[in-house]
Amino acid sequence: MLRLLGRKLLALIPVLFLVTFATTALPDLVDGSPVAQMLGPGSTPQDLKDLEHEFGYDKSLPVRYVTWVGNALTGDLGESLKTRTSVMDGIAERFPVTLELAVFALLMALIVAVPLGVWTAAKAGGRVDRVIGGVSSGLLSIPTFVSVFILVYFFANPKMMLAFKPTGWEYISVDFAKNIEFAFLPALALALAEIPQFQRLLRSDMLATLQEDFILTARSKGLSTPYVLFRHALRPSSFSLLTVSGLTLGRLIGGTVIVESYFAIPGLGQGMYQAINGKDIPVVQGTVVVIALIYVLLNTLVDIGYSLIDPRVRAR
């Protein structure tokens, strides 16, 4: 396990290098100075020069990169060009929000998709399978920016049955119940997009597992069908689901822009979107590094998950 972890951390180095170097090189790739927007009306070229000097944009790319890495290693990701506040603090504030949203959404998706996947596999070709298959195709073809409207109409409408909060946020550390009220709809919107693929993935892997001899053995013991499905067939069928869950969690943390913007949630995605729009290079840089780290971490967790699911992986 430790060696696995060590290998993963080594693999992290080239990934981080590429990601950070590319973001440091961004100002050289786009027109105009990144600090130009900070200047008020009536500023002189000299003011621009001064600001560029202050933020180090007058230096060459290699020098800027080494400086940035050096600072990053001490936990200093620089200052936002817009707010002149610490990038690190900004991320520390936004990251827990996005993480909660992503985990909440993933759990919701799994809780719905796993029983559906098992059920449709057990009844493959039957009416239940066809109906759920149809609904899931439908869901798959509804983009998130459409489903958020539908969700808000039905679940955040005082005239309808349920009234969740349509926009805004409350931190989980402040008020848990309120937090759920705000987080439920955005998490559901994110989950809806994942449920169909989770269900299909599990269904097809499960179908393959149900052909295995050891399922016959289990059935010949007189065990009930649900027992055979959930205790014998589910675990060997969940490899792809685990892989995709890991990737999905990473993707949700890195890219919940639409949902965060629509529901006005102060998360990483929204922050990133604003930073890109405002050419706020240090914020983009810092956020990207954090997301890359999360991705690699999740991949490692998935690998550890494999060995939990299947003892044969442990032996290798």
Task: Name the residues that contact another protein, by CB under 8 A.
Answer: 212-214, 216-224, 231-232, 235-236, 309-312, 315
Return the number of the residue (148 or 210) whose C-beta is nearest another protein. 210
42 conformational bin, left if phi > 0, alpha if psi -120 to 50, beta if neither: left
Q: How far is the CB of 209 from another protein (least distance, A)?
A: 10
Spatial contact of 129 and 202, defined as CB atoms under 8 Å apart: no
Q: How far is the CB of 220 from another protein (least distance, A)?
A: 5
- The three-class DSSP label of residue 177 is helix
DSSP 254-285: H--HHHHHHTT--SHHHHHHHHHHTT-HHHHH
The rounded distance, in Å, linking the Cα atoms of 182 and 216 is 47
Return the number of the residue (14 or 222) whose C-beta is nearest another protein. 222
Q: How far is the CB of 202 from another protein (least distance, A)?
A: 16
Q: How far is the CB of 314 from another protein (least distance, A)?
A: 9
Q: How far is the CB of 3 from another protein (least distance, A)?
A: 21
Four-CA torsion 257, 261, 263, 266, nearest 10 degrees: 90
Return the number of the residue (74 or 220) whose C-beta is nearest another protein. 220
Return the number of the residue (26 or 215) whose C-beta is nearest another protein. 215
Beta-bridge mates of residue 79: 86
Q: How far is the CB of 234 from another protein (least distance, A)?
A: 10
213 conformational bin, left if phi > 0, alpha if psi -120 to 50, beta if neither: alpha
Four-CA torsion 283, 274, 188, 229, nearest 10 degrees: -40
Return the number of the residue (148 or 218) whose C-beta is nearest another protein. 218
Return the number of the residue (29 or 315) whose C-beta is nearest another protein. 315
Beta-bridge mates of residue 163: 156
